[in-house]
Amino acid sequence: MNKTLLGYVPNESPIYAVHPFVKLFFLLVVSLFPMFVSAPDWNIGLVLVIIIFMWISRVNMKTLKIYVPVAISMGTIIFLSYTVLGGTHPEFELLARVWGVNFYWERVRDALVVYFRVLPMIFTMVFFLSTSRERDIIVAMRSVKIPFVVTYVFAMALRSAGMVLEDFQIVRQAEQARGFDPAGKSLPYKIRQYVMYMVPLFALSLRRSEEFTNALVARGYAFTGKFSKVKRADYILTHYSYKNFDYVFISLISIAFVALLIFRYGFGYFLVEQSWLMRILREALS
Amino acid sequence: MSNVIEINDYSWKYINTKIPAIENINLSIKEGSFVGIIGPNGAGKTTLAYSMDGLIPGQYNGVKKGTVEVFGTEVENFAKGELQQLVGVVFSDPEAQFTAMTVEDELVFGMENIGLSVPEIKERLDWAIELTDLSHLLMKPPYEISGGQKQRVALAAVLAMRPKILILDEPTSMLDPVSRGRIFEVLAKLKAEENNTIIVIEHSLENLVPLADEMMLMVDGALLLQDKTQSFFQQSKMLLEKGVYPPGAMHFFHELQMKNYYQGKLPLTVTEGIDLLREITGS
Amino acid sequence: MTEYKSYIEVVNLDFEYPDGTQALKEINLEIKKGEFIALIGQNGSGKTTLSKCLNGLYKPTAGDIVVDGLNSKDSSIVQMVKRVGYVFQNPDHQLFNNNCWDEIAYGPRNIQLSAEEVEERVNEAIQVVGLPKFYHSEHPFFLSKGLRQRVAIASILALRPHVIIVDEPTTGQDTKQSLEIMDFLKDLNEKHGHTIIIITHDMPIVGRYARRVIAMAQARIMADGPTREVFTQSEVLEKTFLAPPQITQLAQADPSLGFDPRTLTVEEMVEQFLEIKGE
């Protein structure tokens, strides 16, 4: 099993044959698709397509269950923001009045449009993180010539996050070992106590950062001066090469994007007015 | 053999302390020698080590007196990044030294920094991996390997830069005995096969003593004793007074010496000790 | 002679981490009041996990741990830590306050003691540990490692647990500091009656201070007995990848020389040598 940022993927997954840049490209471009599509039917279709990709990549589908509560709470927030807290317009069609709040069709429609736009974006991100190891992200960034400093800082952030999480666990145990029991205490008390976690975490990071800087310097990393302008061999990239299917994927993704734009702006597809799902919903609610 | 490191009348005081961390240090280290630096915590051993690599005064603020010369040039006169190609340092905390996402990236990082080409990197990588027995760990991320393995990675990463001088600052203090032994195994191989100058700061004398050609004792910022290993430990009385305990077998024979039951060489290893024991008990 | 009775009983303890790693298998042991035990083994052998089970931080996956009559499965962590204190290896992980006094008071305050009681306990702990007045208002971060360890131990002492588990007391310390902290733990044991358990792989220290050794490897207890006995069980020690101190190895190497294979210190060895030489 290989550990990716969000879970484990079996070693035999086809996703590993794909160059990390293609995965990054997929993430960046396909996340844009929903921005041009307002009809929820199409966006739901996109979510299904991404789920199929996840299944082909042999991502552990059980991990998707984690996102169900996220999806529900997010949907509720969006729905409430648009309907209860949203404004009105004289031409809006009133659907119902519940507990003194007006529910307008246009608001419900807008909420659904936004929700089904955000959903595929999240799923694309989840797909990317579930199939990429930290190294893949670094490789993807370097293959598009993002400056080394940036990719390195990014890698460091990932690394530190891991270390901080480990420390956090130990600190929590240390607190418990000193009789800290949050059960049955007031919220301000709990907040104050949790803030105390920060103290040892800071202390640990401070101590490590001194040694860390020393280690960087000792490895010849020059922040300024002649040696900081050295051309890096980027050895890591030698493990990855673009195969034919990588170019095919990149082309397909690009073509799909261009086609999307053409159909959207040239022929007016993907608009919410044409959505049969919306039409069905509208009739059901009237 | 020439002196690769020459330190003359050297003192260093960190900016936020009242007294210097180390004072009036005079020492020279010959090329290819294996030197052990020992002494209580706070004696200034790390300060001395950092001074030899340019980390002091490069990364730290303070007052410097005297000179520290590596390969004939003052430490401060090297361009940024230049001295680090000649002197490699391994620190004590395995966590803080692992800067990359996988073991391989970690090993390659230093080599990329000094601008080596891909074929050169591959060659050195293979050599370093062979020496430190890391080939099965190459693709592993830092959180999947133990502290001992991380330290071997740190050592390999520094070795891959092929420094002429290798300084190790308490490399095994956070490791268990098996991992500790493996680090010293690598150092023993290095000593036998290559011509690096190796300087090790350690508390674990058991592993250090058999390998060191020369030993130095630092106490309270001063270099109190500097000698070839055997003669150094003949002065164990002084060492004990300063809170430095020789390894068990050596300590025993030293006690016998103090009681005039033994004259002669002190054993550097348990095996030597056993042989000596047989001799003196008349078996 | 002190009256001993079993303070801790562990029966068929198993512990499995959420990710499936089996950290403890079929652990059985009894700890009486007043013991000084060294828990030894390689990293990953289960020593730390066992300790955290003993003080209630971890609950057994199977089996029972009974401390002072309380079963850890039925007790809250607070009840357990009042009886078994655990000092973490890195003091930085457990220093939460801006000054040492508050740090030591943190525990007693957590268990809702009155202000007077808190003050009493803190002063008591400071006294036992020997923390000079100067440091009371200092930030723990800036103290030396040895002092930080003392503050950490004091903050556990303030909860007045009977058993004190110290994780790696001598790692990173020089010999003099190691002996100081160990002498201090010895005092806690002999003068104040605490049961002390140290987790370590510093064999000379084990030989000098621990009266009983529990050796672990691969989640199991490989050996459990008086220090002198365990150090002669070479096949068992091999499994834990630990070797007895050099001086013990010297004594054990050649039985025909007449040295006691259970020798633990240089002084003992010298004594025996003098006897053999007919002094």
pLDDT for C138-168, tens place per residue?
888 888 777 888 889 899 999 999 999 999 9
pLDDT reported for residue C13: 94
B38 CB-near residues (< 8 Å, 6+ apart) = B45, B201, B202, B203, B205, B208, B215, B216, B217, B218, B244
Do residue B167 and residue B240 come from a single domain?
Answer: yes
Q: Answer yes or no: do A233 and B112 touch at CB < 8 A.
A: yes
Do residue B142 and residue B239 come from a single domain?
Answer: yes
Number of domains chain B is built from? 2
Domain limits at A100?
Answer: 2-139+242-285
Alpha-carbon distance B121 to C15, whole Å?
Answer: 45
Do residue A59 and residue A82 come from a single domain?
Answer: yes
Burial B219-233 (b: 16+ CB within 10 A, else e): bebebbbbeebeebb
Task: Find chain A residues with C-beta within 8 A of B59's C-beta.
Answer: 213-214, 217
Fold adopted by C6-239: Rossmann fold (3.40.50)
C98-114 pLDDT, tens digit each: 889 999 998 898 888 89
Those of residues 170-209 in C touching chain B at CB distance below 8 A are 171-177, 201, 203-204
pLDDT band with cut points at 50, 70 and 90 for residue C4: very low
CATH number at residue B129: 3.40.50.300
> What is the pLDDT averaged over residues B43-68?
92
pLDDT band with cut points at 50, 70 and 90 for residue C2: very low
Alpha-carbon distance C177 to C180, whole Å?
Answer: 5
Alpha-carbon distance C260 to C248, whole Å?
Answer: 9
> What is the pLDDT averaged over residues C203-208?
93
Do residue B196 and residue B270 come from a single domain?
Answer: no
Put simply, whether A135 touches B (Cβ < 8 Å) is: yes
Q: Answer yes or no: do A181 and C86 touch at CB < 8 A.
A: no
Q: C215 phi and psi, to 5 degrees?
A: -105, 130
pLDDT reported for residue B95: 83
A10 or B169, higher pLDDT = B169
pLDDT reported for residue C164: 95
A93-113 pLDDT, tens digit each: 777 777 777 788 888 888 889
Amino acid at A128: F
Q: Answer yes or no: do C177 and B179 touch at CB < 8 A.
A: no
Examine the pLDDT at C277 and tell me if it is beyond 90: no
Domain limits at B268?
Answer: 247-283
Q: Answer yes or no: do B114 and A227 touch at CB < 8 A.
A: yes
* Residue in C43, C142, C178 to test binding to B, most B beta-carbons within 10 Å: C43
Alpha-carbon distance A113 to A85, whole Å?
Answer: 17
Do residue A70 and residue A200 come from a single domain?
Answer: no
Do residue A226 and residue A252 come from a single domain?
Answer: no
In this structure, of A146-155, B268-277, C195-204, the range with the lowest mean pLDDT score is: A146-155
Do residue B173 and residue B269 come from a single domain?
Answer: no
Examine the pLDDT at B187 and tell me if it is beyond 70: yes
Number of domains chain A is built from? 2
Averaged pLDDT score across all residues of chain A: 84
Please report, rounded to a whole number, the percentage of residues in chain A having pLDDT higher than 70. 95
Q: Answer yes or no: do C250 and B261 touch at CB < 8 A.
A: no
Do residue B136 and residue B266 come from a single domain?
Answer: no
Residue in B252, B274, B278 closest to C266 by CB: B252
C131 or B172, higher pLDDT = B172
DSSP state of A264: I
Do residue B256 and residue B234 come from a single domain?
Answer: no
Where do the structural domains in chain C lie, given as residue ranges? 6-239, 245-279
The secondary structure element, H or E, covering residue C269 is helix C266-276
B95-126 pLDDT, tens digit each: 888 888 889 999 999 898 888 899 999 999 99
Q: How far is C108 from chain B (nearest CA, A)?
A: 32
- Minimum Cα–Cα distance from B108: chain A residue: A235
A260-286 pLDDT, tens digit each: 999 888 888 888 777 888 888 888 877
